[in-house]
């Protein structure tokens, strides 16, 4: 994977295309098996073992599968919050109560998302989370995360800052997506750990 040094946005766009191209070659079995391994490692994290509320997300397409992890957290008695995409790309939140509580929602011409169908808890509900599981395309050795570029989770992280709360930030990725460097911008915040199918890596 080509490395970039500056924080230029075109570099981020190029990296996103490269990582997505690799993901798009994965089979459904690859995604499912990776998700099962990822869930085992994530559930061993102290940050999740002691969490009462976890903000997570439902994977789509070739993202590492998260449903096994969501169900295991629920089985532990953890309250799991899932995002609902708003028209301005901000995120509302709802509670996950099993696969039956999800509905497929298409936002414009984008890929359909699985979102919770119950009560909307408001964008500030994420501030109650003890841990936030973040989607992404890559993370570097400093814990800087490369997202998809929509800005939804930048808003989430800014909201957590304004609320003065510091939940554990954990990104879920494939092994090849832990790289030497990704471009960063002033608003970017490092994550505490990355979980991949082969294990956990922590960042100082």
User: Which CATH number fits the domain that encloses residue 152?
Assistant: 3.40.50.10420
pLDDT at 150: 83
Looking at the 3D structure of the chain, how many domains does it have? 1
Q: What are the E-state strand segments in the chain?
A: 53-55, 79-85, 91-95, 102-105, 113-116, 131-134, 138-140, 145-146, 168-172, 178-179, 193-196, 199-202
Percent composition of the chain: helix, strand, coil (DSSP 3-state, to 5): 35, 25, 45
pTM comes to 0.90
Whether 2 is in a domain gets the answer: no
Where in the sequence is the domain holding 41, given as residue range(s)? Answer: 9-202
Q: Is residue 40 part of a domain?
A: yes
pLDDT attached to residue 40: 95
Which residues of the chain carry a pLDDT beneath 70?
A: 1-10
Asked whether residue 171 is domain-assigned, the answer is yes
Four-residue CA torsion sign, 79, 34, 147, 194: positive
- pLDDT at position 2 is 41
Could you tell me if 193 and 47 are in contact, meaning their C-beta atoms sit under 8 angstroms apart?
Answer: yes
Return all residues near 137 (Cβ < 8 A) that are at least 6 apart.
15, 16, 19, 20, 146, 147, 148, 173, 177
Per-residue pLDDT tens over the stretch 114-145: 999 989 999 999 999 999 999 999 999 999 99
The pLDDT value recorded for residue 1 is 42
Chain centre distance of CA 181: 19
Contact 12/146 with Cβ under 8 angstroms? yes
Domain assignment present for residue 4? The answer is no
Q: At what angle do helices 67-75 and 28-43 cross, to 10 degrees?
A: 30
């Amino acid at each position: 994977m080509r490395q970039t040094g500056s924080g230029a946005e075109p570099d981020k766009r190029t990296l996103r295309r490269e990582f997505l191209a690799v993901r798009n070659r994965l089979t459904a079995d690859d995604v499912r098996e990776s998700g099962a391994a990822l869930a085992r490692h994530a559930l061993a994290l102290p940050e999740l073992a002691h969490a009462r509320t976890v903000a997570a997300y439902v994977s789509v397409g070739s993202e590492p599968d998260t449903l096994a992890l969501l169900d295991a957290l629920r089985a532990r008695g953890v309250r799991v919050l899932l995002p609902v995409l708003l028209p301005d790309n901000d995120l509302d939140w709802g509670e996950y109560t099993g696969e039956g509580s999800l509905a497929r929602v298409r936002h414009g011409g984008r890929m359909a998302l699985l979102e919770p169908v119950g009560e909307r808890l408001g964008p500030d509900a994420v501030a109650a989370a003890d841990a936030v599981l973040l989607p992404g395309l890559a993370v570097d050795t400093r814990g800087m995360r490369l997202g998809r570029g929509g800005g939804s989770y930048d808003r989430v992280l800014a909201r957590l800052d304004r609320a003065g709360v510091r939940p554990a930030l954990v990104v879920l990725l494939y092994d090849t997506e832990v790289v030497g460097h990704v471009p960063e911008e002033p608003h970017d915040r490092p994550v505490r750990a990355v979980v991949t199918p082969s294990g956990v890596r922590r960042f100082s």
